Structure 1
Amino acid sequence: MLLSCTGVRKTFGDHVVLDDLSLEVAEHEVVALIGASGSGKSTLLRCVNLLTGIEDGIIRLDGEEITNPKINPDLVRQRIGLVFQSYNLFPHMTVLDNITLAPTRVHKRAAAEAREQAMHWLERVGLADKARAFPDGLSGGQQQRVAIVRALVNNPRLLLLDEVTSALDPELVGEVLTMIRDLKGEGMTMVLATHEMGFAKQVADRVAFLDAGRVLEHGPPDQVLGDPTEARTRQFLSRIIEAGRL
């Protein structure tokens, strides 16, 4: 398995956010995390990227225990891309500078090499003409695609996407989802937390329903979204259907 989470526990004070959570993701697989707000989806992604520590359990990447205290988290993060629901682009820097900042400052890559790789990705997503633009000159969908490119520029083994369409106007969601679908076609391993149930059904190899910090149910999208076995999953999906989001 490329990613393995076993018995992961995370608390904030007295509040248990992740409770003995286990999840595996194979190479080239796309796993969609669904569940109500507060179910632990975003926290799980932050724990995998080592932005948030865990109290118990083990997380492995390519078989290596990355939650081992002796591990250098910066080296781990070079192999994992994380994109948040807010774009987090620096407004005073151009698109190209935003993308190349981490490769040159953190990973010590040559500036010319970082720019070449950045332009390669911008061309692939149709934003090469925006390289010298500033974020406030881009639409929300374009800014989110730039944020995804920033995560891809180091050729990560794993891409984590945290509700990347939730801050977008409805008409801009499609261009970001198309980019994610293209990445799946190229074999990118992804774990995405999403409220876009229709998209999860189209792009995910497996869907995991989180409830109270645990993976309550997981399986192929048609099964979990179309014929769930757990009553709590059915209750959650019925509300999604009532809201017209599935």
Structure 2
Amino acid sequence: MNQPSEPYRSSEPPRPTGPEPDLLQIEHLRKSYGEHVILRDLSLSVAPHQCVVLIGASGSGKSTLLRCLNLLETVDDGIIRLGGVDITDPRARADDIRTRVGIVFQSFNLFPHMSVLDNVTLASRVVHGIDRGRAEADAMAMLDRVGLAEKAKARPDNLSGGQQQRVAIARALVNRPLLMLFDEVTSALDPELVGEVLGLLTELKSEGMTMLVATHEMGFARQVADEVVFLADGGVAESGPPEQVLADPVDPRTQRFLRRIIDAGRL
């Protein structure tokens, strides 16, 4: 993978020295579909440059939480603040928020009839009105960052799964967001391709990217996370440093979940 000429820098303005306030604050979040409650009074904070890993059983609300943070879902109750600004305010412009909160899904969601370069520049040109020359220059810099500049003219179908996922990450990073959300980004990959994507996330973490990562990759959580958050029953059941949550969990629900992971040989 190509090495960047300089570390990743988000669009976040310089902050004064001293303790930094939390970049993301989630307060008493609730989301349901009909009678089915997915998130119930969930509160969570993420500090700047922190990597927080979400773990939990399927259906625990990890993906729904990330979609709420990117405003792909409308919350029923609660507040989400990004940099102190309430992004759940009905007056908030979703497209503006999504330039500050990037998201990458387990499915690549690339347009197969378009080149890699066009996939990465599409939102910049169509949604944000950036001229093609600047959009393509920014996209090429980000494709070089993820080691795929030479694939700019290729179609997604001509790339491996790992390469397609790295294109999806480049597309999310091209606007230099303040916060990146990753939703099970390795679950659709063949095992031999998982490492290259997790390696890129590890590099982003080392360069100061603020990240919220939903994953079943416990090795990644153990090695990279600043904090591990276990979701259950619509809320945060347990959170703390990875060495505590993964090795010495307190909540019985966390203990049961990790026993299943261990029995499956994934921890």
Please report the TM-score for the alignment, with normalisation by the length of structure 1. 0.99
In structure 2, how many angstroms separate the alpha carbons of the residues matched to 1:129 and 1:74?
A: 30
Runs of 5+ in structure 2 lacking a partner? 1-21
Which residue does 1:198 correspond to in 2? 219
Is 1:24–2:45 an aligned residue pair? yes
Shift of 1:63: 0.3
In structure 1, how many angstroms separate the alpha carbons of the residues matched to 2:97 and 2:144?
A: 27
Shift of 1:213: 1.1
In structure 1, how many angstroms separate the alpha carbons of the residues matched to 2:179 and 2:230?
A: 20
Structure-to-structure mapping, 1:205-220, within 5 angstroms? 205-220=226-241
Q: Percent identity?
A: 65
| Residue of 198, 207, 221 corresponding to 1:177 | 198
Which residue does 1:100 correspond to in 2? 121
Which residue does 1:36 correspond to in 2? 57
Deviations 1:58-107 (A, max 9, x none): 00000000001111111111111000100000000000000000011111
Is 1:82–2:124 an aligned residue pair? no
In structure 2, how many angstroms separate the alpha carbons of the residues matched to 1:80 and 1:9?
A: 20
| Residue of 223, 227, 236 corresponding to 2:248 | 227
In structure 2, how many angstroms separate the alpha carbons of the residues matched to 1:125 and 1:101?
A: 18
AA paired with 1:160?
L
Could you say what secondary structure the match of 2:246 adopts? Answer: helix
Runs of 4+ in 1 over 4 A off after TM superposition: none
Which residue does 2:147 correspond to in 1? 126
Give the superposed CA RMSD: 0.6
In structure 2, how many angstroms separate the alpha carbons of the residues matched to 1:59 and 1:125?
A: 30
| Residue correspondences, number | 246
AA paired with 2:216?
H
Could you say what secondary structure the match of 2:73 adopts? Answer: coil
Higher mean alpha-carbon deviation, 113-122 vs 155-164, is at: 113-122
Which residue does 2:86 correspond to in 1? 65
Is 1:56–2:107 an aligned residue pair? no
Could you say what secondary structure the match of 1:23 adopts? Answer: strand
Shift of 1:122: 1.2
In structure 2, how many angstroms separate the alpha carbons of the residues matched to 1:133 and 1:83?
A: 20
In structure 2, how many angstroms separate the alpha carbons of the residues matched to 1:19 and 1:124?
A: 38
In structure 1, how many angstroms separate the alpha carbons of the residues matched to 2:122 and 2:91?
A: 27
| Residue of 164, 179, 187 corresponding to 1:143 | 164
In structure 1, how many angstroms separate the alpha carbons of the residues matched to 2:137 and 2:175?
A: 12
Shift of 1:141: 0.3
